[in-house]
Structure 1
Amino acid sequence: MFIQQAYKGKTEWWRYVIGLVIIFLGWQLFGALPWFGAVILEAGPDVLTLSQEEWMRVLDSNLNFFLLLLSFAVGLAALLFVVKYLHAQSIKDATTSRKKVDWGRFFFGFSIVAVFTVVTTLIDYNMQPEDYLWNFKTVPFLILAAIALIMVPLQTSFEEYLFRGYLMQGIGVLAGNRWVPLVITSVIFGSLHLFNPEVEKLGYIIMVYYIGTGFLLGIMTLMDEGMELALGFHAGNNLVGALLVTADWTAFETNSVLKDVSNPEAGLDILLPIVIVYPIFLFLMARTYRWTNWKERLFGKVNRPEPIKYPEEI
């Protein structure tokens, strides 16, 4: 079992408290300093008068994108440090219950969401071209692509290792079951998007989408006994999104191919992924990897494995 992999390391509750403090400091303090420094240097004395939205637009789009993602890269380094040295757990055991990381699963998860995003965007572009502007500029886009290919997987990996790895295993061990970590990590994951500009634009109803996405990634992890599918899916979703479409009201405004200029409304666009698209993704994964025993894998108990007794010990 994936959650039981935590028992290969040290699982005392206080280690998770200290670990979360270290991870938070790495992510939100040390990781964010370069971005804050760059904004202050660029804005000068006027920085104190800027609104939150203006802070996000001080820097060149690509530089802003890189520095924002850099904080996640620092957070990932802090998280892996905590796993290895505070919990004495291997990175492989924090990733999967398999003998080694299955990169085929990673690329499967990446591919299904990437293909879906590209196809649905092309359909929407052809049906409602007035909702889009052609935003492609060769040099800025190539710079964006270089940044995104390196930094976006680091950003999404940080979020996956934090929620579907570190917290999923830690809460699962402390709670003794699988459903409590699934619920808690999904709700926290969604809640961290509360301050995204999309929430201000669309309202709190979009939190259904964010929390629902957390449940989708958590179910993938528990059913597949590893994070490979979730790692790939999250990376594919964010990478293709950053390169393909941007908008003035999204968390990351990029030099993407298209710019969405429509007036977004909270409605079917939020509910359809949760009630139709996400179940289809899970169905495809379940058929591909032959998932069974859903009740046990999502709601079963988590027990400390019995130590192996060798003949000379009996």
Structure 2
Amino acid sequence: MYIEQGYKGDLGLWKYLIIPGCFIGFMILNYIAIILSPVSVEDSMAQMIASLGSNLVLIILLVPLAVGLFVVLGWTKLVHSQSITSLTTSRKKIDWKRVFFAFGVWGLITIVLTFIGIYLSPEDYLFNFKLIPFLSLALIGIILIPLQTSFEEYLFRGYIMQGLGIATKNRWVPLVVTSVLFGLMHLGNPEVEKLGYGIMIYYIGTGFFLGIITLMDEGLELALGFHAANNLIGALLLTADWTAFQTDSLYRDVSDPILGWDVLVPVFIVFPILLLIFSKKYGWTNWKEKLTGKVLSEEEFLKLDN
């Protein structure tokens, strides 16, 4: 009963609208600015990196989102009077083993898939390792990337999902809405400009995967671990001149980017396999009810919770 954990705070429509409304409004303005700008996102990023260096640019990109995490958590605690635990999970306490399990599984898969790609097409990759820049990147990434990914999880799969679920009294609306919004949030990424809107299949598909594991597992822990591994391991392993994170990673992708199998395979093959792994490990059942069923009323939830 993860969505129903929102009943443990002070409800109010205006309270749930302010943070998502401000964030979505900022994303819309940012996307409009990108469309109207005479300079491409890729060229703009290249100019910033040439002027400031990739690590400083990475910090500039990550810090606002890291701060956003504390805004969401602080708003939940101070305005909703809801505990961070109940925003995170339906369990009595946050299950950090779940966080690290998801991080380890997806981190390992990411490493394996990356090196398979390098082995199959070595001409497309340049070994980019430089000790001091890489160690600086690792320090920045380990500190800031989990904060950035946690902000997105707490905002979409936590705050918005609980608020929408309580408002609509069902589970499929928050699943669909948060997954689509999560995908649309990436419209301003240079990958979209370079590869086209087809890459939204990956972003929205990832949103659905994260939403499904949150609802099935009745908590954010698996989504928090997966998302942190996805961005951190990705930033350390591989970069390109047309990606959102341009870093001093181990390898640089120098191939001509195309929209291909690497967008479809995770969504339609790898993510279903992960769902199977998680479902076996954590004994998930009753999929239809958990993903599309009704949300209990406050009275029903409090009766069961006591």
Shared fold (TM-score greater than 0.5)? yes
Give the C-alpha shift of residue 18 in structure 1: 2.6
SS at match of 1:133: strand
Paired amino acid for 1:153 = P
Paired amino acid for 2:14 = W
Bigger radius of gyration: 1
Distance 1:220 1:123 in 2: 27
* TM-score scaled by length of structure 2: 0.90
Paired residue for 1:288, among 268, 281, 302? 281
Give the C-alpha shift of residue 219 in structure 1: 0.2
* TM-score scaled by length of structure 1: 0.88
Aligned: 1:115 with 2:104: no
Aligned: 1:8 with 2:8: yes
Paired residue for 1:56, among 45, 70, 76? 45
Quickly say closer, same or farther: Cα 1:90–1:22, change in 2 above 3 A: farther
Which 10-residue stretch deviates more, 193-202 or 183-192? 193-202
Mapped contact 2:62–2:144 kept (Cα < 8 A): yes
Q: Deviations over 1:219-250 (max 9, x none)?
A: 00000000000000000010000000000110
Distance 1:66 1:117 in 2: 23
Mapped contact 1:198–1:251 kept (Cα < 8 A): yes
Quickly say closer, same or farther: Cα 1:86–1:20, change in 2 above 3 A: farther
Mapped contact 1:23–1:79 kept (Cα < 8 A): no
Quickly say closer, same or farther: Cα 1:227–1:283, change in 2 above 3 A: same
Mapped contact 2:170–2:293 kept (Cα < 8 A): yes
How many matched pairs?
A: 290
SS at match of 1:263: coil
RMSD: 1.9
Q: Deviations over 1:16-47 (max 9, x none)?
A: 1233356679x88xxx9xxxxxxxxxxxxxxx
Quickly say closer, same or farther: Cα 1:308–1:279, change in 2 above 3 A: closer
Distance 2:165 2:76 in 1: 16
Quickly say closer, same or farther: Cα 1:221–1:209, change in 2 above 3 A: same
Distance 1:77 1:134 in 2: 37
Q: Which runs of no fewer than 5 residues in structure 1 stay unpaired? A: 33-47, 310-314
Paired amino acid for 1:274 = V
Quote the residue 1:176 is aligned against: 169
